[in-house]
Amino acid sequence: MKYFLLILHLALLPLTGQENELTLERKKLIILPADSGPESMGQKITNIVSGEAVQLGRFDIIDRSHLEAILEEQKLHLSGLIDENQVVEIGEMAAAEEALFIKIIAYNQKGVPPKEKVKKKEKDEEDDSLFEWIVKETVTAVIDEKLEGVERYPYNIQTTIQAEVRLINIKTGKSKHSFKLYGHYTGGTKAESFTRALRSMRWQIRTKLKTLYILSSEIVELNGKEITILSGKNLGLRKGAIFEIASNDRKKTYKGKSITIPGKPRGLARITEVGPDASIAKIVRKWRPIKEGNKAYEIISSPSVNELAFSYNESPGMQMMIQHWINPFAPFSMSVSGQIGTFTDSRNETTGQFGFGFGFGYKLFQLGPIGNALRFHIPIDFALKSDDADHLASATILSPMIGWETSILIGKSKDLVISVFTIPKSTFGEWTYTEQSDSDSEESTTVDAFWNGEAPTVDLTGLFLSVGIRFINIR
């Protein structure tokens, strides 16, 4: 029944009069460098762009051997410089819709002194007298003159690459879009540095290519929290991709002019199963009703999720935590955090605390706008306190916690989060402080803190209650 509805919907698409365009087929694309020799910089970047475009699966890249056959037949060649007019001509011959024209703006390789050598030189200059400094500068100038044109740091090469990629409409010859690519790396020989610089450009290329052809789909079936959309392996769709669901755009005539009013966002869905030309997604966030016929737009960068929470511990103690979630809409997620607060120690005095941590979460079930999850968090805290000799001492606190989290959707981009954790065991380290070895040395040593009687301790064993706001940034 599901596939019958899908086939029926596809058959009726041309008759629906729908204003929103759907992504139903790959975009034909030809990619050409401005300097097209086989060993040219432009060709190397072109190969990377072409490879990433093929991996994305949403472009039909004109095969280079096919293109060369076309050019040979037309008595043209992929050699020398290619300008934008030739790109249009070549694209028309290859039956492409659009062309990517890649141009190198800047490329430079030079040896630079290693950081250790720079730091040593700066330190030596601080210690030198005026006469010593003059002598060194004179000798350096003579050496520089003698070694002019010779690479002095052949194993610490700094490579910088800047390129421009322009998307050209074959029919009109006009630029539709452009973006810059930057590659930078310092270290190794020229070949190694160059390879690393190119590698650093790959993630930029992949993201930029996605923005050239964002997938636009439609919900053809709704079954509880699962939806079926018109995108699949035929467009390079992968498991875990996030789509924003929205109502259809509306056409309206205002003062004799036809305008398009964008549809309202309704929720987020995560792809769980990918088929040949249709996929199943799970609704992971919903702030308006979702129904069949709603649009689904690919989100290029996964939404970022951050949380600000205030906690209370039985010790007693209070803490403020900032948390960033990684892969937040998957069943399993991970977080990194930073925290600051105070606790009451065994002397019944206030002890300052700061630290960082990481955690894991597993989503259990969702009841409408209320989500429930199991959380495991490992904070690494540092207690701060002046010892009895007025030294600022610190000690490490390890207090793994496990608990239950309930999140309540209070808007498109906000959740109220209430968590209850239990800390089965809290480990408190030794108090220490640092002091300089002597007044003329930058070296320092770690010394045990001084206490009259027993050293204070902090025991965090028990319950930990946390209330916070989670912010979802959908880009």
The CATH number of whichever domain residue 282 belongs to comes to 2.40.10.410
Residue, of 22 and 437, whose pLDDT is higher:
22
Q: Quick one: pLDDT at residue 151?
A: 66
Q: Quick one: pLDDT at residue 130?
A: 56
Q: What mean pLDDT is reported for the chain? A: 82
Is 378 inside a domain boundary? yes
- CATH number (domain holding residue 42): 3.40.50.10610
Q: Is the pTM of this model over 0.85?
A: no
144-148, 238-242, 267-271, 288-292: which has the minimum mean pLDDT?
144-148
Q: Quick one: pLDDT at residue 317?
A: 85
| 182 and 318 housed in the same domain | no
Average pLDDT on 389-410 reads 94
pLDDT band at residue 297, thresholds of 50, 70 and 90?
A: very high
Structural domains in the chain (count): 4
Q: What is the Cα–Cα distance from 67 to 74, expressed in whole angstroms?
A: 11
Is 199 inside a domain boundary? yes
Three-state SS sequence of the chain: CHHHHHHHHHHHHHHCCCCCCCCCCCEEEEEEECECCCCCHHHHHHHHHHHHHHHHCCEEECCHHHHHHHHHHCCCCCCCECCHHHHHHHHHHCCCCEEEEEEEEEEEEEECCCHHHHHHHHHHHHHCCHHHHHHHHHHHHHHHHHCCCCCCCCCEEEEEEEEEEEEEECCCCCEEEEEEEEEEEECECHHHHHHHHHHCCHHHHHHHHHHHCCCEEEEEEEECCEEEECCCHHHCCCCCCEEEEECCCEEEEECCEEEEECCCEEEEEEEEEECCCCEEEEEEEECCCCCCCCEEEECCCCCEEEEEEEEEECCCEEEEEEEEEECCCCCEEEEEEEEEEEEECCCCCEEEEEEEEEEEEEEEEEECCEEEEEEEEEEEEEEEEECCCCCEEEEEEECCEEEEEEEEEEECCEEEEEEEEEECCCEECCCEEEEECCCCCCCEEEEECCCCCCCCCCCCCEEEEEEEEEEEECC
Average pLDDT on 114-125 reads 56
Average pLDDT on 133-145 reads 58
Closest residue by Cα to residue 294 from 320, 268, 326, 330: 268
| 36 and 170 housed in the same domain | yes
Is 20 inside a domain boundary? no
1-5, 107-111, 270-274: which has the minimum mean pLDDT?
1-5
List the structure tokens of 115: 């950081």
Is 16 inside a domain boundary? no
Q: Quick one: pLDDT at residue 236?
A: 92
Average pLDDT on 427-441 reads 79
165-179, 262-276, 411-425, 434-448: which has the minimum mean pLDDT?
434-448
pLDDT band at residue 76, thresholds of 50, 70 and 90?
A: very low
| 337 and 425 housed in the same domain | yes
Residue, of 73 and 407, whose pLDDT is higher:
407
Is 272 inside a domain boundary? yes
Is 165 inside a domain boundary? yes
pLDDT band at residue 11, thresholds of 50, 70 and 90?
A: very low
| 106 and 118 housed in the same domain | no
| 66 and 126 housed in the same domain | no
pLDDT band at residue 17, thresholds of 50, 70 and 90?
A: very low
| 350 and 397 housed in the same domain | yes
Contact predicate 32/101, CB 8 Å: yes
Q: Of 96, 126, 146, which one is at a domain's C-terminal end?
A: 146
Q: Of 98, 121, 146, which one is at a domain's C-terminal end?
A: 146
- CATH number (domain holding residue 444): 2.40.160.70
Q: Of 249, 281, 298, which one is at a domain's C-terminal end?
A: 298
Q: Quick one: pLDDT at residue 190?
A: 87
Share of the chain above pLDDT 90, in %: 44
Which domain covers residue 121, as residue numbers?
113-146
Q: Is the pLDDT of residue 397 over 90?
A: yes
| 104 and 58 housed in the same domain | yes
| 396 and 331 housed in the same domain | yes
| 415 and 339 housed in the same domain | yes
Is 18 inside a domain boundary? no
| 93 and 117 housed in the same domain | no
| 367 and 462 housed in the same domain | yes
Is 14 inside a domain boundary? no
Residue, of 130 and 236, whose pLDDT is higher:
236
| 356 and 271 housed in the same domain | no
Model confidence pLDDT, tens digit, residues 179-192: 899 999 998 888 89
Q: Is the pLDDT of residue 41 over 60?
A: yes
Q: Is the pLDDT of residue 10 over 70?
A: no
